[in-house]
Every structure is written in C-alpha cells, then in structure tokens.
Structure 1
Amino acid sequence: MDPDGSLFFTVLGPVRGWRGSSELSLGSPQQRAALAILLLHGDQPVDIEELVLGLWGENPPKAAVGAARTYVSRLRTALEPEHRDGDGPRLLVSVGTSYLLRLPKGALDVDLVEQDIAAAAVARGDGDLHRAHELLGQAERRWQGTALTGVTGPYTDNARDRLAQRQLALVEQRIELDLELGEAASAVADLTRLTTEHPLRENLRELQMRALYQSGRQAEALAVFADIRHVLASELGVAPDQRLHDLQQRILRGDPALLPEQRPAEAAPAGPVPTQLPADTADFTGRGDLVESIAGVLTERQGQAVPVYAVSGIGGAGKTALAVRVAHSVRGRFPDGQLYIDLAGASSQPLSPFEVLGYFLRSLGVAEKALPVDQAGRSALYRTVLADRHVLIVLDNAHDAGQVVPLLPGYPGCSTIITSRARLSVPTAATIELDAFDPAEALRLLTTIVGEDKVLAEAAAAGELLASCGHLPLAVRVIAGQLVARPDMLIADVLRLLSDERLRLSRLHSGELDVRATFRLGYDQLDPQLARAFRLLSLPDAETVPLAAAAALLGLHPDDAEDEIDQLIDTGLVQTPRSGRYRLHDLLRLFARERSTEQDAPADLTEATHRLLDFLLATARNAYLAVRPGNRIVELLQPLTDVGVRFSTAAEADAWFRQEREFVLSVLRQAAQRHPELIGITSDVLLGLDPLMERSFAWQQCIGLARLIASTARQAGLREAEAAARYMLSGALWQMGELDPAMEEIEIAVERACRVNPLVLAESLVVQGLVAGDSAMPEEEIRLLRLALELQRQTGNRSAEANNLGNLTAVCLQLGQTREAYEHSRKALALYRELGDVMGEAHAMLHNGVAAHQLGRLDEAERHYREALALTDVHGLAHMRAALLSYFARLHLDRGDVATAAAAADEAIVACVEIGYSRGQAHALATLGRALEHLGEVDHAVACLRAAADLFGRVGVVGSEDIHTINEEIARITRT
C-alpha cells in the first residue's frame, strides 16, 4: 500500500485492494468473490466455466456466464481505469476462454505469508531463532480476521477452510519457537484459546503440555493429556497419538531436555536494566501492518541516524495501545532495557524535559547527586549513558516537539517511539497519523471483548452501534465494557441509548474510560480564536470540508483560515486526509457542537451558514457561466460577495462538482432543515447546480433535496424559490423515469413561475414537455416545447433556445420526422458553437448521428457519433459517453458486426451502471441481447432482453412499444 501507485490485495480478512494508498472499489460481494478466485489462482489462467463453477457451483443461474464476464469487465475497469484508452488491459487479460490476473511479486498478502514462512525456515536452519520468530509473527499478523470475509461460493468456501488450516499450522510453528526461546508464558496464553477452539487437534495439545511444563506447571501439563485422552475417546473412539504418550512419560520423569536450551548470555550491561513498559493490551486488535512497519523502523540499523517513530492522532484512537504493542514485540532487540514515560502532553501541565531526564537517568543507574542541575547537562549525560546501550524509549502523550527532542538518544543503538495528539516535527522521525478503526477492525475488537456469540446474534445492530461511535477504539472499548458489565443487556439496547446524538457523548463512558473527557483535554488548551474555528468547522454534516468552504465558514481569507486550521491539526482535533481538506471525527464533531451550543449565539451560527451558502452560490454561478455560456438563468444567481471558486472551462467546473458534490448537497440539505430563513439562497444554489447535475448525472441525489427545499420554500411563502426547486425536482424525477410524480411537480412549478420568473417558466415548460413525451403524448410534448421556445426567444435566452431545439430534434426523430429533426439540430449546433457550449455541441452531433442512422446513412452516422464521442472524452461528459456507446452498439449491430456490437453494448452497460443512467442501460441491454442471439448465446440473450424490458418498465420511457417489441423477441427466441 505504498503511495507509488502499486497494487496490493488482501484475502486474509475482507477481500480488498489498493492502488498506492487509495482503496479500490471492487463492487458487490459476488464480484469480489470472482476477484478472489483470480487472485488465488496465482499465475494460472481461470477458464470462464471454472469461474462460473467457483461462483455458483454445479447449478449456476442461466445468466451466469454473462454475469461472470460482467464481473471481469468491471474488475478490469477498477484495476486499470485507463485500459480502454491504450492497448487494452495488461493486468486482467484474456487467454482464449480464460482470464489471467497478472500481478507483480508481493502484491497479495497470501504470497507475502509464504515468503515470510520460507524466510523463517532459512533463518531457523541458520540458527537465528529470533529472526525466524519475527518472520513467523510477521506472517501471522497478515491475517486481518477470517480469510475471505464477506464473499461466498464453492471456491471461496473451500479456500477459506484451506487458509484457516494454513493459519493454524503457522501459529503452531510460531508457538514452537516461543518454547525454544523460553517464552512459555505467552505460549500458554495462546494455547489456552486455541485448544478451546480446536479441542481435537493433537499438535496443539502437545505444545500446550510442553508450554505448561516449561512454566513450572507440571500437574496442569499432565491434566492436558488426561483431557485429550477423554475427548478423543468420547468423540472419536480413539486414543491419543503415541507422541503424546511419550511426552506424558517425559513430563512424569521431569525430563530436562523439555526445557528450552540455555543460550549464551549477552554481556551484562553497565548499570541497571529498566523494564518500564506498561502491560500489553490482551485484546489488542487490528493495526497488524502498522505494528510490523513501526517495528521494522525501530529495529533497522542504517548509518548513524537514530530510529524514531512518531504516532499522532485524535484522543481515543489507540496511540498508546499501539506503541505499547510495538514495544513489547521488539523488546527482545533491546537487551539493555526499555524506558517509558507518560509526558501528560494533553493536560494543562505537561512534564518538563528537565524532570523527565532526571527520571530516566535515575532509572539508568545515575545517582541523584550526580544529576546535572540544568537541562542541557542532563540531556548530554543522558546521551552519554545510552551511547553504548541498546535501549528502547517510549515517549507517550507528548505535547510538542520541544518536549521530546531533548529526550532523544544520540546514537543508533537506541530507538524511540513517540505518541502525541499533535503532529510532531522531530528530526529523522518517521510519522503516521493514526485514525479510527475501519469497520472490520472495530467489529473484531467488540467481538474479542464481548464474545462472538453475542455479536453474531445481533450482527446488524453491532454494525450500526460501531458506526454510531465512528469506530473510535476508545468508544468501542467503552460500549464493550458496558455490555460485559451488563450481560443481560442487548447490543440493540446500547444502540438505542446512543441513537440521540445530543446524548451520545454522555453515554460513552465506563469507569475511567470517558470519550468526552478525553476530547476536553485537548479543547481546553485552545485559545478563544482557535476554539471558535473548531466549533464552526463542526457545522457541516460532511465527511470533509474543503479549504475555500472552511474559509467562508470562518469569515477569513483562505490563507488566514489555513493558518488557523493547521494549528488545530497540530492539536489533533482536526485531521487532514489530503492537502486542502479537513475532517473532524464523528464524535469530535458532536463534541464541538456541544461546545457551540454552550458558547455561540444562534445568530452567529446562522451568519456562518449564510457565508458558506453565499460562497457556494458564487461558485455555482461561475460554474453555470462555464458549462452553459450565455444562459440567462445565471442572472438569477446573485451572491452578496464575489468570493467563489472560478473556472476557466466547463471541465474544471465539472471536476470541482464531482469532488465536492457530497459536501455541497449535504450543506444544502442541512441549511433547508435547520435554517428556513435562508431557504431563498439555498434554492438559488440548487438552481445553479442544474448544468453540473446534468454533466455528472447526479439526479438521484437531487430528488430528496429538491423536495425538501421546495417544501420549506412553500412554507415560507417564497414562490420564486419554490418554483426553482420544483423545476429541479421535476427534472430529476423525469431523468430517473418517475413520470407521474414528475408531472405533478412540474405543473406546480409552472404555476409558481408564471407569476414571478419567465426564465424559470420557460425551463419548466421544457421539462413539462419532456414528461408529456415520455408519457406517450408526443403532440403535447411538441406544443409545450414550442411554447417554451417562443418564451426563450422573447427573453433572449439563446443558450436555453439551443437546448430546446435539441429537445425538438429528439422528439422529431422519435416521430420519424427526420428532415425536420435535421433542421432543428443544425440550428442548435450553430447556436452552441457560437456560444462556445461544448456539451450542447456534443448533444447536437449525437442528434445528427441518430437522424443519419434512421435514414440508413450509417457511415455519416458513425462520423457524427465519433465527433460527439471525441468531445465527451476530452471534456469528461460521462452521461453523453454512456449514451454514445449504446448508439455505437446499435450501429455495429445494423452493420452486421455482431461481436463488436456485443462488446460495445457490454461497455455501455458498465458505463451506464456507473452513473445510474437506467434508460441508457435498458437500451444497451436490449442491443446486447440481440447481438448475443446472433452469436448463438441464446440463454444469455434472453436474460439480457428480459432485464431490458424490466428496466424500460421501471423507468417509464416512451415506448411501451419497446417493451412490447422486446417481449415479442423473447417469445420468438424461446419458441425456437
């Protein structure tokens, strides 16, 4: 998972993949199962029939082959998004009727496990037992739970069992080395759990007897033999293996050869050996890769640099537990001791370096009277004492770099691990910002503490409960502690207690564990200006907040806002997942809002929200100008200030919206719910997003939001705001095929706009016409579109006029009025080019191509389609590209190039699914079905045609005749 763009996959837990540090979207559980099959075959190709068998077994569904091919196609896109732009896929390739996944060495966790095991065998053969033990532990930590979690199927079910057996054999090897190295106590703890889980496994019982004997627990070791003899007799009717009988006799004799070999002791260090590490957490969960990475840094000796690792992160993220786990895992490499101190950095009185140096020097054997009276002298003596020693220093809960730099050793024999809520700039230090658990890690911790049976019995409630805690390790421990303390309490009971966000933090405490108190330690150290910034940043209900929006919230210039937020990041209260974006953990957001309720006047919060909406309105206006140049709707978007993101091209505006869409829509939703007094500007921002919604086909997300804004505007008596919101709502409903509600909403929009705004009225009439057309009323559609065209010409809205000419082109094509369609399209194309509207120009070219296609001029149609496709590719018009791929498929089918038609239709389906374009998906499915029939894949063809008919019915496109025609085709195919 290096940030260099390399691929890495895991199957020893959930099936996941990364490109560099970014996790890949691998699709549905079934698609992940297909990936797992390809991954576990290594460099061996997987035949399509073998893939189907692995996914569904001996009785696959009729459309299984097509579904498997679709999974492979989508996985290719996920692994190599650019593969269609070059020479085809290089990773997931076709080999005849098989598929082969070519991955570089070390790109799969299973392969790394085998490498670790092989290297351990070499080290053991060389007599380096410590190295062998480290390698086996490293291999063991690569498991992140049950292998292949979340995927099912005959192949993965069998593979899961094989991997579980491999894991168990690995653990046995590691425990055997524990015993050879004299670590019997830790081996006993592991074996107690493992023999409970695998009571019939004799290897584990043998190891358990040896571990207990080495620990001086001879009677318990003999009791293990008695127990396994009884279990095997009652369960299987057999006696224990002879080696267990022999071991029993050796234990009875007190055989000294069963004790670990006494290895030569290292030279005694000068002075005492401090061993100050706190106890390791028995139920430590997750972070396996991170433990391994930090341990590697601390134990690697390169040059004269002192190994230092600094772990930062919010309170409750588990920094101390991680540092202690790492320290215990490497303490054998530091025979001269381990120093530990809690620096109290989050409190109002952090320890001074002077007093910490005194404590450390005394621990290292320096007499009190020999301690220098100044910090510089103590620091110099500290480095001198450590110069020839191998000591691990753990500096927990540091306040800042100034506190820890004097505590760093000067020579590379020693290593230091630091934890802090603040980001520390420490010379030579490797750093990591520790975040909350991922859902799987949080679930494992809860399961470890409260028990698997309880969690499995309420799996859904457990997932919701952990999500309500933001998967913060401290919060998970709190709720787990509550469940352990009250065995009669259900997980659902705790979930209900935490469902009210206003009371959630009050409920997240158990004994000494208190989430709110942990957060308050950091907040109470902030000066008033930073505390205000922290509170205001918690207002948006969004995963992250971009810098420009944060500056608007704070009422600051972006440079000044960045300075303030950077200071908050340094305290650990705010995180920055990437440059220019800021995030508060869910529970920290609740904490900040609690403080805001206590300290901020409601008017101040409304003003901050207004500043944010004004910024979004200015940005939406700039985007409208870029995407629909010349459209007079932009005159309705009038921010109070001119501070907004500016765009030189439509593609820039589109890229901004794709990145910020979730943030923008959540802000609008929140404003409509909490600030009805701001509903006018909220509606204006939504209207300004119209062309961006079209480019990214984000209509599904628009429906609920537009309905909320329209309802709030109606209650406020703002007819113009309501008209704009209902126009957006009806357009979104039409795009998603919900014709009846779209008709209802657009009639209200037209009525409201009639009295207040001719620009919105004209656009509403267009939507009303489109809904009528899809409701099988083409004459009414033409009447409304012509009425809108007249109004657009009266108001001089030439951009809207060009768009409406495109609509008239489309309806004329549907009615077979091809020449009239050509005339409308020609005028639209001229207007779009005059205005510099690239998206409109692509639409007009598409219409020209459809007209030529209908007239049978296939070469001309292809030329127009290719011209349109070139524009969509250059300018990122995903919706248009999906539609064009479907038209290309039909063109190839009409030419008789059936294989190319099937490939194009398959690609169109994937493109449509990715953006939620159901109509295009229905058309592409129908084309694919017809192509597959020609190719002789009858069952798959019928499945595609049925899926197309179902989609046509659900999205309500014109053309119940499409459904009728398809059903006739299905009947014909099935008869033959």
Structure 2
Amino acid sequence: MEALEYEVEDAMVAEPDDLDIRFLGPVSVRHNGVELAVGSARRGAVFSVLALQANHAVSRERLIAAVWGEKPPHSARGNVYTYVSELRQMLEPARGRWAAGQRLTSHSGNYGLYLPECTVDVYRFDALRDKSRRHRADGDRQAELFVLTQALGMWRGEALQGVPGPYAEAQRLRLTELRIATEERRAGTLIELSRHDEAIAELRTLVETYPARENSHALLMTALQAAGRRSEALTVYERISTLLRERTGTEPGAALRALHSRIVSTGRQVSPPPSPRRISPAFVGRDAELRLLRKAVADVRAGRGEGIWLKGTPGMGKSTLLTTALRNAAPTGYRLGWGVGDELARHISLGVLLECLESAFADQDQDLVEQLLAVVGAARAGANSDTEHRVVSIVRRAAADGPLILVLDDLESADDDTLRIWAALHRLTGDLPLLLIGASRPAAGDHRLDALRGMHPHEVQLYGLSPAEAATLVRMVAPEPPDPRTLHRLITAAGGSPYYLRRLAATPWPGPEATGGPPAEIVAAVGERLDPFAEETRQVLRAVAFLDAGPTTGDGRAGCTIHEVAAVTGRPVEDLLHTLASARDAGLLADTGQRLTLRHPIVGRVLREGTPATLRVMLHRSFAEKIATAGSAPERVVAQLLAGPAPLDGWPGHWLDQHVEELGVRAPGLAVAVLQRARAEYNLDHGRRITLTAWLARLLFRSNRNAIAEAGWVANRTDDVVLAAEMGWIVAVTRVRLEQSAAAAEVVRTVLSGHRAPDRWLTRFRGLLDEIRPKLPDGRGDSTAGIA
C-alpha cells in the first residue's frame, strides 16, 4: 500500500499536460500519446537546445554555436529559420501559417520554447533526485530507494542519443555523470537497508562499465565487507589499484585507501565517504603550498586547528594540490570530509555542507549523520530558525572526539547557507582539532565570500607554474619528448596553467603558422572554461582575442585597450567593463592596468583560429579600420593588418601611405613587415607601391640590412629624380657595407653619368667615389676619373 501511495503522488507531479519530451535515450516527442517526427539530426539538435532551456530566450548566434560549434556553415542561419518553422508546425499543427507561435516563439533574433518543465524527462529526473534527497533528510530510506528507482527507470539508453553538436555532447556528459551518481546513491541506500546482494550485483555492473571510478569501487567494497565477503572486498581494491597504476601511474585516492585500511585492520562494516578527486598522474611544483597543507594536517593531529583558504583561477590545480596534500591524511580513526560546489549545488540549501559533513561522519558517527540530516531537513522545510547553531554544535561534538579535516572545494559555487555556516565554523578552530580548508577562484568580485575574508590565518594564492615547472610537467605528460621550440611554444600558450599544459602536451597542435584549426580536444578544453560565461561576455572576449593577435607592437606589450574594444564592438566603455567583470573575477583576463589581455594565450588562439579563415581576415581588416578611426597608435593598426593577413589594397594601402613615416619611427620592425607585404601585392596602385617600397628600402638601410633589391626596384621605376637619386645612394652605400667596392663604383658611375640627380646628390656621390677609389682593383680607378 505504501508503494502505491508513492506511485500515485509522483504520477501527479510528473505528468505533462499534453506533451511528453524525452532525452534520456533517443529523442522522443509525444503529443497526447502520439509520437511526433522530430526530423533530421540537426533539427533534433535545435529542438534539444530549446527544450533543455525551456522558458528562456536563446539567441540565434548561441543556437548556431550550440548545434554547429565554432565553425558553422554559411547556411546555418537559414537552416535555423527552417528548423524552427518546421518544429513550430510539429508542436502546433493547428496554428495558422501566419499566426504567431504559442509554444515556440521568435522575436528579435531570439527563440524560446515555452512549456511546463515537467513535460521534459530531464527536468523530471532532476525533480526525482531532489525528492530523494528530501526523503533522505527525513530519514525515510525506503522512500528514498523507491524514488531513486523511479528516476533511473526513466533512462532508455544514452542521453540525447545520436544528437549532434557541442551542446548535446556537453549535456550527454553531464547527464551521464548524474545517472552514475544516482546509481551509486541507490546502491548506497540498498547497503543501508542491508540488501547487500542486490547492491553487489548492481555495483559489479557499474565498476565493469566505469572501471576507474573510485566511488563505485568503494561502495562495492563496503557491500562485500558488510555481506561477510572480506576477501572479495580486498580483491576489488587490488584490481582498481593495479588498473590506476597501469593507466595513470597513480595510487587510489585518500578515501579509498582509508577504506581499504579499515577493512584490513578491523574487518567491520563501514560506509566510505565520497572519494575526493583523484590525484592527477603528473604533479609538479607547489612546494611551499604542499608544505603548508601537510604542516596543517600534522598540527590538527596534534590537537591544533586552523583555517586555510586556497585561491586560484580555474585550471591552476587547486583540487589536485589538495588531493596530493591530503592523500595520506586519513589513518584509522581519522575523519576527512570533502564537499564540492557546482552550479546545481548552489541552488540546494546546505547541499555542499551536507555532502562534506556526511562523508566525514558516515563511517563512525551515524548518529551525527542522522542529527545532521534532521537539521537540514527542518531548515529546508522552513521549520528551523537556529540551523547555524545546531550544525556548529554537531561539528563541535565531532571535533571534540578526535581530529577532523573538512574540505570545501569550489567554494564560489556553494549555496549561501553553506557559506554562512562555513564561516561560523571557523570560530571552532582555535579550541578544537578542526582543520577547515576552502578552495575557490579569486574572490575579488564575489561578495558572497565576503564573510570568509580575514578568518583564515593562511590565504594562499596559486599562480601559474614557473617556466621550469611547466617544462617538467609537459615532459611528464607528452607522449613524445617535445623539441625545444615546441616546448617553448606550449609553455607560452598555456600561460602557466597546469590545466592547459596537460592538454597541450597530450594533444599535438602545430604552431600558429599551420592551417586546419585547433584540435577538438583543445577546443573542448577551452570551451569548458568559457561555457560558464554569458554569451555576450564570450563575444567580447573574442574581440579581445582578435585585438590581442598579431606581432608584438612597438612598446613590447601584449593586449588591447578597453577603448579599442569599444571601437570594434560599438558598445560604451562602461557597458563593456560590466560585461567583462565576471571574466576578470575568474582570472581569465590578466590584470595589466589599462590593457586587456587573456591570461592564457591558448584561449585567444582557439577563439581566433576557431573562426573560419575568410571571416578571420575580414574581422582583422575591419578591426584595423575601426581602431584607426578611433585614434589608436599606428603600430596597433598594423598589428591587425598583419594578423589577418588582410589585403592592403583600398583603405589599408591609403592609410599606410599616410602613416608609414610615423610607423617607421615608432615601430620599425612592424613597419618593415607590413611594407614587405605591400611590395608583394601587385593589386596595389603602382604609384603607392613605389612609395611604400621606397620606405621599406629606407627602413632596411637605417637598420644596416640589405636594401639593394628594394631600392634598385624603386630607382628603376620612378620618374622622381630625387627619389631615384636617394634609392641609388642606398644601393651604393649598401654595396660599400658589403665590401663590394667595384659594384658600388658602378652605381656611382651610372648616377653621375646620367646628370639627372639634383646637385646636392651629385656632390654626395662624388664624395662617396673619393672614399672608395683606393679600394678599387688596379686599373678601375682611372675609369671613374673623368666622371668625377
């Protein structure tokens, strides 16, 4: 009878009004029980994006990127229009041709699918998971198990099966991870209900499917131990230990090793905490930080508590550092709790703190777990006004019984109640063996973390790895030892980030001169870091990436100014600063005063090279013109023209003609580079090509480089006698520098015999001839006497 009540209740919650949309397997849409044809794979991808963001507007650009990625075909915009029209007809067949859509709307380049969330199985799955947590907080394990079974029963195969595009792939990964976590939670509940054989059967399937997942192995070991099959539990540990050593060169994480130790030493039934993130196969540097963390662990064992706040931009290795430092920190009788914030947890009151404390108490203090669940349940129901006091009291009792380490990773993604109580717990560290370790990205702009400031004796900022450390990491990860040039390129591109260093080392990608665009693995790695930002922020970051491209300008600094970004985007500076605030706070933009630059050059390269080549050239040329009009220095404009590389006919050639002299003074290297391009472009106006090539000859001559070809080319084509004489002078003096006296004398003879050069130039040539006469071979000096 009890099961029937659950079934009726959930049916009332989950049934949609007339649509049933399923993504937990092949995409399926039913209307009043009748299957609708979603259509082609791409049309299904468009529908998936809109349905999984139901009741929110999705811009056309975001929709295109979600379905086709960074390199959409030219037909993408038209295809989206067609797909939306067809989907609207599918969802609302009775709608008139010209009538506005009710479910699927479009307005100002935005699309929205409006329907009850319970219509989509993904939302129903999330709702059931949340409901299971409420049953757990109430202590009703039978109800929890029933709801978890319902949630898993909604799956019909791989999520979004066969749906293409980066958005669908990201959702597949997310939903698969949630499915595994739900299966693990169900198995854990079976263990708690002493249904060990069922749990063992399900967990064996799980570890066979995901052989490197430590938490599944920990649950299987626990179930086997509880069923009196201790030797099998130890065999499971040996199997995963061997697999990890062979695949990654690592040992199991701290939680799994602690569980193994308890089974070996006591043989009693235990429930393991969720395992911390496993140590990376390669860890270098961070010596000072490791010493600090390990000393804190030693201190808490000796009865002294404290707080540590570890800060670093995403990818700096905070989680890896913590796992490395704490990998041996959990002997028998020692408790370690670990919670990790994420975007889902941020919306669940006390979710991250509950995960942390539950993992710390589960094996030895089940009564504390029950008390904690009761407090959290009451708080979520709004029936508890002293939640903070009661949670602090529970932790106080636990720490009074023995050393306790609590770790909250990704603090910035924890819920507000967790952050408030986490701050309150620091008051206990002065009197109890309690070590609190928090990790977050830099918190300069995150006011939710204000309460934590000043509470930690140690606030540690993780910066990028040094070049030597980065080189060591690359050599450890790369399948083949990189040559020095490649190694330098990888280190520079990663900007000290261990995250990017690992991926660049493991995935070959030729230098910037290569064609073909970035590998999918690198695009995915950068995309993972950019996905949390709003679409408008990513677009502005793309503009920064393009403006930051090209050769180093005359001042030797990278980056661009906010005013240049305003010029190319057409947006006010104040608006841009607000849009980029989240990227600054996350450390994606380096803090260089008035200039904007991406902290990790690999991000800029992916954003640029992920853009189709033709569009990339057009953007660089357009950006050059816009920042020139806004008054940027000429070297900044030329950097854009060279980065394209943009053709120099039309506006660029005219602009270069007007600014070449100033450019030659401010940035002679860039001037030479762009003038060499100009000389090679036959579509330039003939007169302008002569003028620009003459400047190229002057700049090469001033820098003591060989300018014979350029100056000779101009001298033979110009009608300007002054310019011809100047170019002849450059050729003659360059010959002298090259110790080619006879050739230099021949140039002088040609100029003097022509009698076309102005008198001041003839005087200079005669003086040069006097200088080189002694160096001429026997008999050659007399041949020039008459000319002089």
Q: Indicate the structure with greater helix content.
A: 1
Given the two structures, how large is their TM-score scaled by the length of structure 1?
0.26
Larger RCO, structures 1/2 (Cα 8 Å, 6+ apart): 2
Q: What is the TM-score with the length of structure 2 in the denominator?
A: 0.32
